[in-house]
Amino acid sequence: RVERLKMLMEGSDFAKKIHVTDLATHVGYMPENPYDPKYEEVLVACKAIVEKCKENGQNFLFETGQETPVTLKRAIQDIEKAVGKGNVGINLDPANLIMYGKANPVDALEVFGEYVMGIHGKDGKYPTDGHHLGDEVPLGQGKVNYSAFIAKLKEIGYQGDITIEREISGEEQKKDIRMAKELLDKLIAE
């Protein structure tokens, strides 16, 4: 954790030099039980990077996936109590919530929607065994209900970007990204 925090601090300084305003990452394992001593250990590290980002005029965004929405919201609220509000939020990857088996992304917006500062346009399937994540698939072919998801984003007033993410390479990746853009453009226009 110490090495990772050092790298994030250096990354924040570098990002400032190139005028990047959002620093997003998975923070690693965070216990769901706020009374677990490891929860406070994770928060100490998160508070430090959030403060560094604040100094650098940046937002620190938790990438969703490994934590339940309630755990993530609790962590953000606990960090805000210590360092103040305004620069800590969520980069919501709806597919990660499904692929990790943590939540339905539409329901997750009910829990932490006010903290969403970025979105990944990605799709996936729930895990089917206890040892592997669910599969990432082309947007529109997984378990993210994009029609309901976009409608919920509109309802909560989200006006930021949706960054299409497809974690494969080559021509299939390009095709899938173009298809995702068409689908998202259509849903956003509705």
Predicted pLDDT of residue 89: 97
CA dihedral 108, 80, 62, 126 (to 10 degrees): -30
Can you give the pTM of this predicted structure? 0.93
For the packed helices 171-189 and 146-156, what is the interaxial angle rounded to 10 degrees?
50
Q: 24-72 pLDDT, tens per residue?
A: 999 988 999 999 999 999 999 999 999 999 999 999 999 998 999 999 9
**Cβ pair 122, 166 in contact under 8 A:** yes
Q: 103-116 pLDDT, tens per residue?
A: 999 999 999 999 99
Q: How far is CA 148 from CA 10, 50, 107, 144, in A?
A: 39, 32, 10, 9
Q: Is 153 helix (H, G, I), strand (E, B) or coil?
A: helix
In one letter, which amino acid is 69? Answer: P
Predicted pLDDT of residue 14: 97
Q: Answer whether residue 1 shows pLDDT above 90.
A: no
Please state the separation of Cα 121 from the chain's center in Å: 11
Torsion 45-50-55-56 (CA) sign: positive
**Cβ pair 73, 103 in contact under 8 A:** no
Q: Kindly state the tokens that stand for 81.
A: 């109590």
Q: 136-163 pLDDT, tens per residue?
A: 999 999 999 999 999 999 999 999 999 9
